[in-house]
Amino acid sequence: MKIIKLLTITTIICLYITSWELSAKEKISSNNVQYSFSLQPEICVLESPQSFCHQTVVFEFIDQPPHNICIYIKQNLASKQCYSSKHRSIFNYVVNTDTSIELVIEDEITHKILGITEFKVTKYKPVRQRRRFSWNLL
């Protein structure tokens, strides 16, 4: 009996985990209506420590987006760009950075924050080639 309960619980947990998407899809709500959006790309890899990531980030709303939206970098309000979402569901935002940043989506009229997502920046580290020298001489 205990084994059947344990198997049932593990099956439910596995189904829950597999149905949960592990991507940059976010859910936001405005006026009790939920909206889903995705961010592409989610990550930028820098070739050298002195380089910057020059990337156009694409926000795509799965449903019709709420009203007019603004997108900006959380640490820099001067980077705010606002878009009319009357007949659009895809928005392009240009990012120039060398560190990971948080991008904020807010309602242009009410200034209510609808969602925050992270754009990750990482440095490229070449893989060291393994040498197969045997140090065991005994």
The number of beta carbons lying within 10 Å of the beta carbon of residue 100 is 13
Closest-CA residue to 72 (of 105, 41, 44): 105
At 22 the pLDDT is 33
Overall average pLDDT of the 23-41 stretch: 58
pLDDT classification of 135: cutoffs 50, 70, 90: low
CA–CA gap between residue 78 and residue 82 (Å, rounded): 12
Q: What percent of the chain has pLDDT over 90?
A: 4
Closest-CA residue to 41 (of 127, 100, 126, 85): 100
- Six-digit token pair at 48? 């050298």
Q: Where are the domains of the chain?
A: 23-123
Give per-residue pLDDT as tens, 95-124.
888 889 999 988 888 888 888 889 999 888
Q: Using the predicted structure, report yes or no on whether residue 78 has a pLDDT greater than 50.
A: yes
Helix (H) or strand (E) holding 3: helix 2-19
Question: In this structure, which topology does domain 23-123 adopt according to CATH?
Answer: Immunoglobulin-like (2.60.40)
Q: Using the predicted structure, report yes or no on whether residue 35 has a pLDDT greater than 70.
A: no
What is the dihedral sign for C-alpha 33, 108, 22, 60? positive
Give per-residue pLDDT as tens, 9-21.
444 444 333 333 3
CA–CA gap between residue 20 and residue 17 (Å, rounded): 5
pLDDT classification of 72: cutoffs 50, 70, 90: very high
